Amino acid sequence: MKIEGKKRIWSEYQKEIPDDKYFYVRSCIRQSFFPASEVYFLKIMREVLHRDIYENKHHTTCSGIGYHSDVVPFETAMTVVARQFALMTEAGYENYAASCITSFGLYSEIIETWKKFPDVLQKVRDNLYKATGRTFEPPKHLAHASDIIYKVRNEIAARARYRLVNRYTGAPLRVVEHIGCHYAKMFPSKGVGGAEYPYVLTGMVEAWGGEVVDYPERRHCCGFGFRQYFIQANRGYSAANTRKKFESMEPFRPDMIITNCPGCPYFLDRWQYVIAETEGKTYGDNGYGIPVFTYEEVAGLVLGYDPWDLGLQVHQVSVEPLLDKIGIPYDPTRKYAGKDQKDLSHPESPSVLKV
C-alpha cells in the first residue's frame, strides 16, 4: 500500500465544510437504535466545542427509506425535503447537517436535480407553498454529521482522554471504517476523499490514534439494502453481503469497526449474531464478535464519556474487550441499568456468539 497514492486522491476530493452554524436533522433509524449517538453529537458540538447546532422538533423523516424501497415517488420526497429546508430557512440557517447517510444522499440528489432542472425546483416550491404556505431556499452547504466531526477531529483529539491504541502493546488499534453507500457512491465529489478511498472516517481514526485497515471488500454494502431486509425471506441475501465483508476483513484481525450510516452499524453488529447462530462462525477474538461503533460513539469514548451513557449496551457484540484494550473504565453492573439505576433486565445470551 502506497499512502502517497491515497493522499493524491484525497487531495482531489476535498469538500467545503462550514465550521459552525448548522441546522441539524435526525435520522429515523438512529434515533431508534442508537439514540445516544445523536445526543452525544449535539453534546460534543455544543458543550465541548461550542458550536451553534440548531434543531427543530418539527422536522420529519426525509422519506428516503420510502424512496429507496420504491414506495415514495421522487416528487413527494422532494416536497418533504423542501419542507425541511423551509424549517431551516425559517430558523435563519444556511448550513444543513444530516445525521442519516440516506438522507444525505437524498438531499444531495435533490439539490443536484434542482441545479440541473430549475423548473423542477420551481414546481416543488409551488407544491410546498400550496400545501403548507412555506417558502424555502436550498442550503448553501450540505454536510453529513460525520463531515462535521471530521472537520473538528483534531479539536477532539486535542481534548481526548483516550486514544485508539492498544494499551498493552502500544500499537494503534486496527480499525475497519465502513462508509454508508449513499454517502459518496452516488456523488463522489460530495464525500470527503471521494467514493473509492473515502477519508471522512479514516481522518477521524488517524487523528485519534488508530490505524485503518484496507481490506478487499471495503466498498461493499453492509447488506441492509432496504428491500432486501424488509422482507423476511430476502434477509438471507442481506446477511450474505455482511458475511462477505466479514470474511474479507477477517484475516486483518480488526479490533473494531467505525461507521457513519444508520443501517451499517446495526446490520454489521446484529448479523454477526445471526451468522454465528446459523453457521457457527464468529469473527472476533476468542469467540467474540468485532464491535461496531458509530463515529459519535467513538468520539465520545475518546473524549472519556461513560460507555453506558453512550448507549454501548444496546450493541449485540460486546464492547468490553475493546474497552479493556483501550483502557477505558466501565462499571459492569451499570451495563443494563437504566435511568436512576433502574434494572432494564438482561438480554438472553446467544448460544454461539460470546458476549
Partner 1 sequence: MVNFGFTINKSTRIDYDQASKDVSRYVIAHEPSALLCIGCGCCTATCSAGQFTPFNLRRIQLQVHRGELARLEQETEKCMLCGKCQMVCPRGVNTRHLVMTIHKAMTLYNRGELKDL
Partner 2 sequence: MDTSSQRHVVVIGAGIAGMEASAQLQGLGYAVTLLEEQPQTGGNLLTWDRLFPFKRPASEVLGELRSRLGGIHVLTSRRILNIEKLNAQFILTVNDGTVLTADAVLVATGFKPFDAYRKEEYGYGIYDNVFTSVDIERMFREERRILTRSGEVPRRVGFIHCVGSRDEKAGNRYCSKVCCVTAVKQASELKEMYPDCEVFCFYMDLRMFDRHYEQMYLDAQTRYGVTFVRGRLSEAAETIDKRIAIKVEDTLVGKPMKMTVDMLVLMVGMEGRTTQLYNSPTLGLSVGKDRFLNAVDEYTDNNLSRTEGVFLAGTCTGPKHIPEVLADAGAAALRIHRYLCQKA
Angle between helices 263-279 and 235-249 (to 10 degrees): 90
Residue with cell 462477505: 244
Cβ atoms of 240 and 217 closer than 8 Å: no
Residue type, 235: R
Measured over the CA atoms of residue 140, residue 143, residue 149 and residue 153, the dihedral's sign is negative
Does 252 contact partner 2 by CB under 8 A?
yes
- Residue 81 burial (CB count, 10 A): 28
Does 237 contact partner 2 by CB under 8 A?
no
Q: Where are the beta strands (DSSP E) in the chain?
A: 22-25, 53-55, 95-98, 141-144, 174-178, 211-212, 256-259, 292-294
Q: Which stretch binds partner 2 (CB under 8 A): 16-24, 79-87, 216-224, 285-293?
A: 216-224
Does 236 contact partner 2 by CB under 8 A?
no
Among positions 64, 105, 194, 300, the unique one binding partner 2 when judged by CB under 8 A:
194
Integer angstrom CA distances of residue 11 from 4, 105, 183, 204, 249: 10, 22, 18, 16, 26
The least distance separating partner 1 from the CB of residue 280, rounded to whole angstroms, comes to 8
- Residue 177 burial (CB count, 10 A): 24
The least distance separating partner 2 from the CB of residue 195, rounded to whole angstroms, comes to 8
Among partner 1, partner 2, none, residue 216 binds (CB under 5-8 Å by kind) = partner 2
Does 73 contact partner 2 by CB under 8 A?
no
Does 217 contact partner 2 by CB under 8 A?
yes
Does 57 contact partner 2 by CB under 8 A?
no
Q: What is the dihedral of CA 190, 192, 194, 197, to 10 degrees?
A: -160
Does 233 contact partner 1 by CB under 8 A?
yes
The least distance separating partner 1 from the CB of residue 233, rounded to whole angstroms, comes to 6
DSSP state letter for 46: I
**Nearest residue (CB) to partner 2, 8 versus 159:** 8
Go through 186-218 and write b for each residue having 16 or more CB atoms within 10 A of its CB, e for each that does not: bbeebbbbbbebbbbbbbbbbbbbbbbbebeeb
Among positions 235, 334, 335, 354, the unique one binding partner 1 when judged by CB under 8 A:
235
Among positions 74, 162, 187, 215, the unique one binding partner 2 when judged by CB under 8 A:
215
DSSP state letter for 340: G
Cβ atoms of 299 and 62 closer than 8 Å: no
**Nearest residue (CB) to partner 2, 144 versus 218:** 218
Contact map string, positions 243 to 282, toward partner 1, x by CB under 8 A: xx-----------------------------xx-xxxx--
**Nearest residue (CB) to partner 1, 118 versus 216:** 216
Q: What is the dihedral of CA 302, 199, 229, 310, to 10 degrees?
A: 10
Does 185 contact partner 2 by CB under 8 A?
no
Among positions 234, 253, 324, 344, the unique one binding partner 1 when judged by CB under 8 A:
234
Does 232 contact partner 1 by CB under 8 A?
yes
Binding site for partner 2 (CB under 8 A): 1-2, 4-6, 8-9, 194, 196-197, 214-219, 251-252
Binding site for partner 1 (CB under 8 A): 232-237, 239-240, 243-244, 274-275, 277-280, 351
